[in-house]
């Protein structure tokens, strides 16, 4: 008869992106304080939390920024745990914070900002991808150890989640932001057997609400 000590242990670390943010000015808010979820963003957080009711989640961690804390709150309540704030889950630093950076907006047309744009591989306008990968890998591994044999939810932001996935899949970190698979309130799940990463899965439990947000943005 085999010993229980020889059995593999399965652990799942879920990385969730926060829900829609109230941002009527349309700026790149980055790490700026005061940017909270919109009403639709709160609905997204509720819907994802409800989809995880039956999951074996024993802890919930979140970035210190308001939108991540608000997104984590419904899941923490359902699973009866306190939110642990971890600075490693914070949004990437960006030198263009507070500016409008979408196509046609002034920040990217202003020659004074061009000095930040010379190297998209690092990238030169913000926190290096390699540093994001290092801190995200660190927090994922710690979460795996804390939740060993169970599941844990970490709430972060689009770029850190995407870089964590690229690092986990051993892919190059520099990329076209338009190609990220990390929509609002999406969940990227890292599945471990013992200490080894076996798979990375992606889901969008609030896809219908994300579609609603996209329609509103285009209106």
Tens-of-pLDDT digits for all 219 residues of the chain? 344 567 999 999 999 999 999 999 889 999 999 999 999 999 999 999 999 999 999 999 999 999 999 999 999 999 999 999 999 999 999 887 877 777 666 666 666 665 667 677 888 778 999 999 999 999 999 999 999 999 999 999 999 999 999 999 999 999 988 899 999 999 999 999 999 999 999 999 999 999 988 776 533
Task: Specify the pLDDT at position 119.
Answer: 75
Which segments of the chain are extended strands (E)? 10-17, 57-62, 83-85, 151-156, 187-193, 196-203
48 and 187 in contact (C-beta within 8 Å)?
yes
State the angle between helix axes of 66-78 and 39-51 in degrees (0 to 180), rounded to the nearest 10: 40
Rounded to whole angstroms, the Cα distance separating 31 from 98 reads: 9
Q: Which structure tokens are listed for 60?
A: 């919930």
Establish whether the linkage from the previous residue to 85 is cis, with ω within 30° of 0.
Answer: no
pTM given for the model = 0.91
> How far is residue 29 from each of residues 24, 92, 98, 166, measured CA to CA in Å?
11, 11, 5, 24
State the angle between helix axes of 39-51 and 207-218 in degrees (0 to 180), rounded to the nearest 10: 160
- Which CATH number is 7-94+128-218 given? 3.40.50.1240
Task: Specify the pLDDT at position 99.
Answer: 78
Paired strand residues for 153 = 14, 60
CB atoms within 10 A of CB 12: 20
């Amino acid at each position: 008869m085999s010993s229980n000590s020889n059995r593999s242990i399965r652990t799942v670390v879920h990385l969730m992106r926060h829900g829609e943010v109230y941002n009527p000015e349309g700026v790149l808010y980055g790490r700026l304080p005061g940017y909270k979820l919109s009403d639709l963003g709160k609905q997204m957080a509720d819907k994802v939390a409800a989809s995880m009711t039956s999951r074996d989640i024993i802890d919930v961690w979140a970035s210190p920024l308001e939108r991540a804390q608000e997104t984590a709150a419904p899941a923490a309540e359902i699973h009866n745990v306190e939110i642990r704030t971890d600075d490693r889950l914070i949004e990437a630093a960006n030198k263009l914070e507070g500016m409008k950076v979408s196509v046609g907006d002034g920040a990217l047309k202003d020659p004074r900002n061009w000095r930040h744009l010379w190297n998209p591989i690092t990238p030169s306008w913000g926190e290096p991808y390699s540093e994001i990968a290092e801190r995200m890998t660190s927090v994922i591994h710690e979460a795996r150890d804390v939740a060993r044999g169970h599941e844990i939810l970490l709430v972060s932001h689009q770029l850190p989640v995407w870089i964590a996935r690229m690092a986990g899949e051993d892919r190059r970190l520099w990329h076209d932001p338009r190609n990220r698979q990390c929509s609002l309130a999406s969940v990227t799940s890292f599945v471990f057997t013992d200490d080894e990463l076996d798979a990375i899965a992606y889901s969008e439990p609030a896809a219908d609400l994300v579609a609603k947000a996209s329609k509103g943005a285009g209106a």
